[in-house]
Amino acid sequence: MGGGVIRKQSQRLADQMMNTSKRLIVVFAILCLMGAFAQGQHNPDGRKVSLDCVTCHVTWHDNIDPQKSLLPKMDAPIQIQGMPARIATAAMCFTCHDGTVKDSRQTFASSNHQMDMDVKHANIKDLPLDKNGKIYCGTCHTPHSLKPTRNGGLAPFLRMEKMNSAICLDCHSNQAKSHKNHPIKVKVSPDNTMAENTFWGKDGTMECMTCHPIHGTESVVGVTGNDRSELCSSCHEAYFNIKLTDHDLTSSLMNKSSDIGPDFGGHDPCAACHVSHGGQAEHMWAMEIDPKAGENGYCIGCHSDNGLGQEKTFSHAGHPVSKIKLRKNIPALGIKAGDKLLCKSCHDPHQWEFSNKHAVNVSNEEGTEYTSFLRLPDDAQGQLCVACHAGQSSMFNSDHSVAREGFQQLFRESNTLNGQCTVCHGAHTDALDGSTEDDPYTVLCMRCHDGQHFATSVVHNNHPIGVPFESKSNLHGYNKDSQTLLSCNTCHDPHKWGQTVEKSQTVDLKGDDRNSFLTISNWPEPKLCLDCHPEQGTILNSDHDLTEEDRSACSLCHAPHNAETEYGILAKWGDAPGASFNEKHCFSCHSEQGSASAKLVEGYSHPREFGILTPPARGTGDWLDFPLFTEAGPSMTVGHIDCFTCHNPHSWSYKTKFQELGSENEEGNDLTSFLRNPSQLTLCTDCHGESTLWKYNYYHDPVKRKRY
Amino acid sequence: MRFKKLLIVVLATSFGLVQSLIAQEVSFSLVRTLEADFNFPTDLCGNDRGDVFVLDGMNDRVVQLKTSGEVVEIRPQRESIYKAVGIAWINGDLWIADTPRSRLLKMEMNGRISQIVKLDHQTEPVDVADMGDNMVVTDRLNHTITVLDKDFKEKYYWGKRGEKVGEFINPGFLASGPENRILIGDILNRRVVSFSPSGRYPQIIAKPGVEKGQIFRPKGIALDSQKRIWVADGYTGALQAFSISGKYLGIATSEGKSLALSAPMGVFIDKQDRLWVVESFASKVSVWRIK
């Protein structure tokens, strides 16, 4: 029994122990399970995360025993928008990017965007910084971005797009403002010589990373010092024609200094005028400019009295700028309709000579019409000027072409070489000398037409100049004392020869009323003459209208230059008979050999021994009422009777209604016959009394007029 | 009987836990540090004469630290080792895992590359080690271990990308371990695993974690004279010792504090039981005496 009890007790004890052990085991198992469950990982929000997460988010390991922890003690290693965040540090990134998983050691070694870099010069917006407010890997990168291979993926695991520079601009927006910084998002010429591995944006646009390697030892691609020449020339090769010109300040001002800002101490010809970022003005301009000067300020900044280019100061006397808006596109000069005419319209500051034909090897060379940073040369075709002033190009086939021997002779004599336009016009100086009292147009024309040089001489008996005039077409002249005075340019436009009779470019042309650089055509009607002398238009269709195929009604009798007489600029009459200028002039036609042989003037001479007072001298009227002459020409005081005393060759009748002739030549009478006045208005009665009418009517009949 | 067995299991488990809790702190004393203008060096190895070779791949060179104290720069002739990661002294020769160019290079002391072994499968070798007559290579691209025969031909390989035992996520540094085992740092699986030479019988030596006795970024692996397996943790900076059976043996301390090196990578222990370690982030090599 006892044994049985003991067994039972033992059994019970054993059973109790067993029950206790089972309980313990169950409890232990539960604890183990709980412990095992508790060994999972949770993020700060309590959400269970996978093992992948703690690959980087090391602090998300649950239940880290502080006594055993090997984690570096870092409180809130990262800030996101200023708020602390316990996410991976750069040290974490390096544990994989040390070459064992990926090799980003070059990035870690780079001086660009290196860790611990201050961001004080950048205006960071959304990107996270480390605990000290400095950039670290995670500032730009996150492993949570889409894989680069996926649609919308941001290689290499960037927080923002790099193809459009978005990630750069988040911090550096101030370095992308247009004009003062090098532009981005612009198409680049496929002819660029950038390295093959150059970063381009979508559609080949230039972006920040095109020039700036994000991770590297250079802040700018291929630039280790201050000389950006090689990089700039990769896309702007044409601008490097500037080298060794006066605008290459590293060459032309090598030994000079300036306090206006440009850096011309190095070897980068760009740096003197341009900075890539933070320019003082548009065009990434390195120097301060006068904002009032507008676009020309870039030039005037140097080409002023105190500027670097003071040897070539800008003058307002030359071609006007700024105030002119161009009305059409001028592709040859890169000008669009509506653009203002500026310095740069004619000048390309990067190129000493058009097409760079003229290799410059020494700076400070005096410019010519072919150089001088002109976009086009002012050559014999006046390319530069004609680009805008196309209407003046007809001059090239005229005697005013510099290709003609006359100009060539001038160039030889003066040892100069002018272009088609600058031979007369100064781009930056006033071609017309306004410093003297003389008519500047005449001064300019007489440089060649002075009788001593190669051009047609116009020094004798010319149409009067320097006199006021009234013109129906408002012809030009020169202004003096608020008056417009007649000058060469009143009748002549030196750019337009007119209708040519000769197309040759080498043979000097003989001018007539159809050409001769006349401002208004003088043929077949003498419109130019009549523009100022409309009262003489009555000659038209009269017997004195001797218009021919190359001559107007005026030109038979009048020569505006080198005339026989100063008064009336009467044309030369050769060997015509007559005692006076007037008689010779009239008898050149009204003679047996003349064209008006049907109207010979048999008797005409009035005794000249009697001096007759002119109407003005008498105080009875105008000189033209009864013009008198001396041997020297018209007299305002005392003279004798001559052809034009009685006849006005421009008007068939002094009465308007008889001025027009019929188709057939009419026989004249005392109302017509080109008589100036009716007999009663002449002064003849003063001497001839009642016989006046007889003598007047038969003045040219030597027999009849002697009856009284 | 079942109760006894359970009791034994519980006691054994408790003993293991206690053992791990009372693992020793192994005192280290700094012998010296070498900087030599390194630029993120990655690995080092030593020869029988006591010279140590540091792979300074970013500088495209190997730096020889002679026992005499002389520092010699060895630049590859007509070749580049730029961004190479692993280096090993194998059977009297200096071998470099030329990672980005999928090859192993045998480099002479004058820089001449006397042997180039091109690797198949676009292998990106991280480290190389000897394994008897063979060489073994870790591959960061394919997540495999490749064994080359004495003619440098691929003999076999094992592993693939994955978390299971026997799989890898970025196998990195390796070392020949005791009992003819090969020790591999499985970096992103955060563990150190030993294998038989054939790639079988994997055994986890160091498990993931950020506490003592755990590993977060296994990098350099080396054996000391007591056959302790020292593993550098690239993130925590710790050097911890494990037995080949996976027992945690201790952590390197200096002046009473656990060592926290600057991104330690390659580790080498010389015959004097001095531990050489590349501190890559600090671009230096530090030498520690294991007390």
| Cβ distance of B216 and A101 shorter than 8 Å | no
pLDDT of A147 reads 66
User: Cis before residue A156, ω within 30 degrees of 0?
Assistant: yes
pLDDT of A6 reads 39
Rounded-to-integer distance, Cα B56 and Cα A665, Å: 118
Closest-CA distance, A89 to chain B, in angstroms, reads 10
DSSP state of A608: S
| Cβ distance of A109 and B281 shorter than 8 Å | no
Residue showing tokens 């025969």: B149
Rounded-to-integer distance, Cα B168 and Cα B188, Å: 8
Domain tally, chain B: 1
Which chain A residues are Cβ-neighbours of B173 within 8 angstroms? Answer: 100
Q: Could you tell me if residue B170 is inside a domain?
A: yes
Q: Which residue has the higher pLDDT, A37 or B128?
A: B128
Closest-CA distance, B133 to chain A, in angstroms, reads 26
pLDDT, tens digit, 9 for 90 and up, residues B234-249: 999 999 999 999 999 9
Most confident of A213-222, A522-531, A687-696: A522-531
C-alpha distance from residue A31 to each of A27, A37, B10, B222 (Å): 6, 9, 13, 37
- When CB atoms are compared, the residue of A21, A92, A106 closest to B58 is A106
Which chain A residues are Cβ-neighbours of B217 within 8 angstroms? Answer: 95-96
Average pLDDT over residues A351-359: 70
Which chain B residues are Cβ-neighbours of A99 within 8 angstroms? Answer: 40, 42, 57, 83, 85, 99, 126
**B→A interface, C-beta within 8 Å:** 3, 6, 10, 39-40, 42, 57-58, 83, 85, 99-100, 126, 140, 163, 170, 172-173, 187-188, 190, 208-214, 216-217, 219, 233-238, 251, 258, 260, 263, 265, 280-281
pLDDT of A426 reads 80
pLDDT of A149 reads 65
Reported as a pLDDT band with limits 50, 70 and 90, residue A14 is very low
Q: Could you tell me if residue A257 is inside a domain?
A: no
| Cβ distance of A100 and B170 shorter than 8 Å | yes
Collect all residues with Cβ–Cβ distance below 8 Å to A467 and sequence separation of at least 6. A485, A486
CA A118 to chain centre: 46
Contact A117, A111 (CB under 8 A): no
Percent of chain A with pLDDT over 70: 83
When computed from its CA atoms, the radius of gyration of chain B, rounded to whole angstroms, is: 19
A306-313's contacts with Cβ under 8 Å and 24+ in sequence apart are A307/A260, A308/A249, A308/A253, A308/A256, A308/A258, A308/A260, A308/A262, A309/A246
- When CB atoms are compared, the residue of B57, B208, B212 closest to A70 is B212
Most B CBs within 10 A among A53, A100, A111, hence the mutation to make, goes to A100
Q: Could you tell me if residue B143 is inside a domain?
A: yes
Q: Could you tell me if residue B1 is inside a domain?
A: no
Q: Could you tell me if residue A190 is inside a domain?
A: no
pLDDT of B59 reads 96
Mean of all residue pLDDT scores within chain A: 81
| Cβ distance of B235 and A92 shorter than 8 Å | yes
Q: Could you tell me if residue A700 is inside a domain?
A: yes
Q: Could you tell me if residue A82 is inside a domain?
A: no
Q: Could you tell me if residue B45 is inside a domain?
A: yes
- pLDDT at residue A393 is higher than 50: yes
Nearest CA in chain A to B100: A103
- pLDDT at residue A261 is higher than 70: no
**A→B interface, C-beta within 8 Å:** 18, 21, 25, 28, 51, 55, 58, 61, 64-65, 68-72, 91-92, 94-96, 98-101, 103, 105-106, 108-109
DSSP state of A382: -
pLDDT of A35 reads 41
Q: Which residue has the higher pLDDT, A219 or B287?
A: B287
Interface ipTM above 0.90: yes
Collect all residues with Cβ–Cβ distance below 8 Å to A12 and sequence separation of at least 6. none
- pLDDT at residue A194 is higher than 60: yes
Q: Which residue has the higher pLDDT, A28 or A308?
A: A308
Most confident of A356-360, A376-380, A483-487: A483-487
Most confident of A98-102, A167-171, A176-180: A98-102
Percent of chain B with pLDDT over 70: 92
Reported as a pLDDT band with limits 50, 70 and 90, residue A85 is low
Which chain A residues are Cβ-neighbours of B212 within 8 angstroms? Answer: 68, 70
Residue showing tokens 């012998």: B31
Q: What is the DSSP string of B210-221?
A: SBTTEESSEEEE
Average pLDDT over residues A286-306: 86
CB pairs under 8 A between A and B: 103
B57's tokens: 């791949």
C-alpha distance from residue B244 to each of A23, B63, B215, B248 (Å): 37, 31, 15, 10
Domain tally, chain A: 2
Reported as a pLDDT band with limits 50, 70 and 90, residue A75 is low
Closest-CA distance, A202 to chain B, in angstroms, reads 29
Closest-CA distance, A222 to chain B, in angstroms, reads 20
When computed from its CA atoms, the radius of gyration of chain A, rounded to whole angstroms, is: 50
pLDDT of A364 reads 63
A470's tokens: 């009234």
CATH number (domain holding residue B230):
2.120.10.30
CA A628 to chain centre: 59
Domain that holds residue B156: 26-290
Contact A128, A80 (CB under 8 A): yes
Average pLDDT over residues A396-422: 82
Q: Could you tell me if residue B13 is inside a domain?
A: no
Which chain A residues are Cβ-neighbours of B214 within 8 angstroms? Answer: 70
- pLDDT at residue A262 is higher than 80: no
Q: What is the DSSP string of B124-171?
A: -EEEEEEETTEEEEEETTTTEEEEE-TTS-EEEEE--BSSSBTBBSSE
Q: Which residue has the higher pLDDT, A24 or A98?
A: A98
Closest CA to B59 of B277, B220, B283: B283
Average pLDDT over residues B100-122: 97
A205-212's contacts with Cβ under 8 Å and 24+ in sequence apart are A206/A235, A207/A162, A207/A163, A207/A164, A207/A165, A207/A168, A208/A165, A208/A168, A208/A169, A208/A172, A208/A176, A208/A184, A209/A162, A209/A165, A209/A168, A210/A184, A211/A182, A211/A276, A212/A112, A212/A168
Which chain B residues are Cβ-neighbours of A108 within 8 angstroms? Answer: 40, 281
Average pLDDT over residues B49-67: 97
Collect all residues with Cβ–Cβ distance below 8 Å to B179 and sequence separation of at least 6. B244
Q: Which of A317-321, A339-343, A630-634, A697-701 has the lowest mean pLDDT?
A: A317-321
Most A CBs within 10 A among B42, B190, B216, hence the mutation to make, goes to B216
Which chain A residues are Cβ-neighbours of B211 within 8 angstroms? Answer: 64-65, 68-70
Contact B264, B239 (CB under 8 A): yes
Closest CA to A484 of A470, A503, A505: A470
Residue showing tokens 């781009």: A427
pLDDT, tens digit, 9 for 90 and up, residues A464-518: 999 999 999 999 999 888 899 999 999 999 988 886 544 545 456 678 898 889 9
Reported as a pLDDT band with limits 50, 70 and 90, residue B11 is low
Rounded-to-integer distance, Cα A281 and Cα B150, Å: 70
- When CB atoms are compared, the residue of B39, B211, B234 closest to A95 is B234
Closest-CA distance, B273 to chain A, in angstroms, reads 24
Closest CA to A446 of A476, A507, A454: A454
pLDDT of B8 reads 61
Most confident of A416-425, A662-671, B249-258: B249-258
pLDDT, tens digit, 9 for 90 and up, residues A32-46: 444 444 445 666 667
Point out which residues pair with B254 in neighbouring strands.
Answer: B257
User: Cis before residue A524, ω within 30 degrees of 0?
Assistant: yes
Which chain B residues are Cβ-neighbours of A27 within 8 angstroms? Answer: none
Closest-CA distance, B27 to chain A, in angstroms, reads 16
Nearest CA in chain A to B259: A70
Which chain B residues are Cβ-neighbours of A100 within 8 angstroms? Answer: 42, 85, 126, 140, 170, 172-173, 187, 219, 234, 265
Contact A568, A465 (CB under 8 A): no
Rounded-to-integer distance, Cα A290 and Cα A280, Å: 11
C-alpha distance from residue A222 to each of A195, A211, A273, B70 (Å): 9, 9, 21, 36
- pLDDT at residue A449 is higher than 60: yes
Domain that holds residue A16: 2-39
